[in-house]
Structure 1
Amino acid sequence: MKVNFKTIILSCTLAGTVLISCVPDRVDGDGNGLVPPANIDAGFTITQTSPNHYLLKANAINYLNSYWNIGGEGFYKGGMEESIFLPDEGEYLIEHQAVGQGGIVASSSSQTINVAVSDTNSGNLVQGGKFADATDWAKWTINNTGAGANWTFTPGKATLTATNSAGQGIYQAINVVAGKKYKIDMLASSTSGCRDTWFEVYVGYNTPVQGQDYNGDGTKYRFISTWDGHGTSPFSGKISVVGGSNNDGIFTATQTGVVYLGIRGGGADMKDGIAITNVEFRGVN
């Protein structure tokens, strides 16, 4: 963006070849390049392009960058136009921030999208993945593997805490179709960061056994490991971003039937713990 300085009067005091001070006395015209103009418009339009697919188009007036927050998953730097896919039935709050000169959020706006029907291929197969209330919590089974670790369900999240290298897991059954691929993700956060901590996601056809760690088919599809540099400081975001994965978090069903999605973890000191919500297990082909 071009900034015109109509009049800049500088008072400078020089000692030899050393510049002692150089301070603008007055700046006229369009501003100093740090403060955004007052007429920034963060408004945007929403156009449904096909079932479950939408185009967000910012008004793009007098600003530099757009930041978007889709359904409460956190702001990210995007473009003036964003194509989004909302595979699950429900109401989504879409927020837009317009960033102007000096990197300042100068204006914001929001709208909601109501998705009437889940996508038949990519709809989320996890039940109670938002941990909204007791009905959601009842969809999960806690696997007690020893004292010192604890899953706590509160409205909107499930939180694992642990000390003394104890661990504990939760799981639920999900129906899959042979040959189909499924992608696993979730929002994970910690307000404190953790020490000597593991947090892992498994899938398998074998049934979990109370009192035993669930390893599924042996693949860690998603994980947070402080030994690998994850989660030592406060964090919040998709586990696919803040943690690690094998096979991009994709499970391929070898037979039609029931698999178990297992989420487990523990640590020497998880401090405030690791919280999860928006757990996803959805088809990708």
Structure 2
Amino acid sequence: MASSSRPCAIPKSLSLAEWQQAKRVGQDARELKAIFQSCWKQSDDQRSFARALQEHGLALAKGDQRGFVATDLNGEVYAIARFCGVRTKDVRQRLGHPETLPSVSSAKEALAKSVLPGVEKLRQAEARKLAQVKEHQKKLLWQLTEKHQGERKSLLERHQARSFAELKARQDRFNKGLRGLFDRITGAYGKTKKQNELEAYEAFKRDQTERDKLVYRQLGEKRDHLKRQRDILQKAQQLGRDLKKDLKNLRDDRENDRSMRDGPHR
């Protein structure tokens, strides 16, 4: 059995999780056998078995040797007896005759036809979600920007209020009138002035440090926020690209199968 890397599908209406699970059909031999055996256990005739296989993106078909096989959208062929782990005799007894079943190529084309509308709906839904993600991210960035602006404004107001109080306290250290004149003569005024200048410088450095810490924290928050949002956006964009690729593969494979089938009759 070849490994399947291109889309397999679940016919009818399907969810994104079902589609992603269906694309993995054929990639894991043990998982694939488990699917066949589960379908076999829950069915009791050809119709119910075919329906169970369909739910996993597989179609019951007639093999070249008139036996029962299953196929996926990649055209991989799986012998029912082998993958279900039962005898050929048991397969014939439960499923009857394969003559009424489509060929492998016809079954594969039918799968593609049945799943195309569902995958197209998924692509459209994911496109809408992507637009919503982008709009939501704009809102989140705007909210973060407003939050940061508010924090800087609040810090500035606290600094201004504190600076005013500290300036007043330093100015109050100077005596006025005759005592102030006496302080100038004795040098006390100069000492107080130097003390005030040193304290003012230390206050400036303190405020600058607090501003720097705030800015660095906000830059980190914005960087982390943008990274998270970029990861979310990239994941959504990749999902949209995958669905577009799946649709192209489905349409191309269906067209190729139809050309190969109809070619000799033209």
TM class by smaller structure:
under 0.3
**If each structure's helix is expressed as a fraction of its own residues, which one has the higher value?**
2
TM-score (norm 2): 0.19
TM-score, structure 1 length as denominator? 0.18
